[in-house]
Amino acid sequence: MDFELDQDLLALKESVQKLVQEKVAPRAGELDEIGGYLWDIKEAFAENRILAIPFPTEYGGTGGKALPMAIAVEEISKFSCSVAMMLSGQCLGSAAITIAGTEEQKQRFLPDLARGKTLAAYGLTEPDAGSDVASLQTTAVRDGDDYVVTGSKRFITYGDVADIMTLFVKTVDSDTKEKKVSCLVAEKGPGWIVSKLEHKIGIKGSTTTELFLEDFRVPVKNLLGKEGDGFKIAMQVLDKTRTSIAAQAVGMAQGALDCAVQFAREHLQSGKPIGRKQGIQMKLADMEMKTEAARYLTYMAADKYDRHDPDRGRYSACAKAYASDLAMEVIGGAIQVLGEYGYTKNYPVERMFRDAKVQQIYEGTNEIQRIVIARSLLGKGF
């Protein structure tokens, strides 16, 4: 498929580029040092409708498609993965509502999210349950018109600043006592306890939290789908959002390649630019080929999602695994081109290297992606 971007996508790409050049690029290193949620950039993104990208137009968004999301996330990630997480995280935290919510639920939650008035988190991972969703221990017991939720969640992006969380729990059938994975839209309130902020090696401008949920009440009307639909909803969300993680990786790889190319043009050795050395040229060429391949795969996966292609889950897993592995390789290559300079904070590739590692882990480790891909090829029973 030819991915020559149409005028709307080109306009989006250019507008995001301009905003990032103004608001993010000059401060990317500073933002990593400061850490914490980047409220002023959030306001700029909301004002410029960047946070509206994940949402359908009927709820105040700009369309809710995966391909525009990938393009925007890629452009932001060229300079800061932490800042790109603001858009990716809003999509991840709200996607379950877009996918499985009733019309009333969508009208209640999505417009404020699209305006950036409220923020969303995705509450899946627990201390003993990450990729294995069936092992969730957080329970939600029906009590009149509410569920009473008890348990803990770990590695929750924006769990400290989010206003709502698509929360995955085990609901208890009142008749059979069977526990089923279900998904609730939790609104912050008593019992939503932030126990700690994680100290990470990278993406320091994106907060990651551990949460305790103690007698935390969620209205029954906030159940997405039916009790027991949680696993299906979680997988549908990840099919969509993994293309955003792939786009983060592509953007970071491109940013590192751009830095390496500029350095090779300008840095002199024996009075000549190091870019004249054939060894440097071969490394840059390999980095370019692999980055372009990852970009094409990511765009294709996003396009397949938007077209409801039956193979969209496999392609999103392919894109996420390939692009994030590739980003580590390309950014490592950029550090080699820069030599000792690449190992210092004077150049952004040091920060990119730290930021990129998590892309091989979150939203399903790359080992899990390979299982998803293989089972899709082999069929049921494997």
Mean pLDDT of 306-315: 96
Q: 104-118, 163-177, 266-280: which range is least confident on average?
A: 163-177
Instruction: Just list the catalytic residues.
Output: 363
pTM of the entire predicted model? 0.95
Domain ranges of the chain: 7-119, 121-228, 231-378
Say how many C-beta atoms besides its own lie within 10 A of residue 320's C-beta: 33
Residue 200 pLDDT greater than 60, yes or no: yes
CA distance 382 to 366: 18
Instruction: Tell me 32's DSSP state.
Output: H
Question: CA 91 → CA 177, 193, 346, distances in Å?
Answer: 34, 23, 32
State the pLDDT at residue 380: 80
Residue 382 pLDDT greater than 60, yes or no: yes
State both tokens at 239.
Answer: 């099919």
State the pLDDT at residue 108: 98
Q: What value does the mean pLDDT of the chain take?
A: 95
The alpha carbon torsion through 362, 208, 68, 106 (nearest 10 deg) reads 110
Q: Kindly report, residue by residue over 202-236, the tens digit of the pLDDT.
A: 999 899 999 999 999 999 999 999 999 999 999 99
CA distance 132 to 126: 10
First to last CA, the chain: 30
Tokens 């603001």 identify what position? 86
**Confidence at 36, pLDDT banded by 50, 70, 90:** confident
Enumerate the β-bridge partners of residue 181: 170
State the pLDDT at residue 34: 82
Question: CA 6 → CA 13, 67, 68, 196, distances in Å?
Answer: 11, 12, 11, 45
Cβ–Cβ under 8 Å, residues 153 and 186 = no
CA distance 176 to 166: 26
Percent of the chain exceeding pLDDT 70 equals 99
Superfamily classification of domain 231-378: Butyryl-CoA Dehydrogenase, subunit A, domain 3 (1.20.140.10)
Question: CA 380 → CA 123, 135, 280, 372, 374, distances in Å?
Answer: 28, 21, 47, 11, 11
Mean pLDDT of 274-283: 97
Mean pLDDT of 121-140: 90
Mean pLDDT of 124-131: 88
Instruction: Name residue 185's amino acid.
Output: V
Tokens 């103690």 identify what position? 214
**Confidence at 128, pLDDT banded by 50, 70, 90:** confident
Pick from 10, 108, 116, 129: nearest CA to 53: 116
Phi, psi (degrees; rounded to nearest 5) at 179: -100, 130
HSE of 83, CA atoms in CB hemisphere, 13 A: 34
- SS3 for 145? coil
**Confidence at 1, pLDDT banded by 50, 70, 90:** very low
Cβ–Cβ under 8 Å, residues 178 and 134 = no
State the pLDDT at residue 3: 62
Mean pLDDT of 25-38: 87
Instruction: Name residue 81's amino acid.
Output: C
User: Looking at domain 121-228, does it have CATH number 1.10.3720.10?
Assistant: no
Q: Write out the CATH class of domain 7-119.
A: mainly alpha
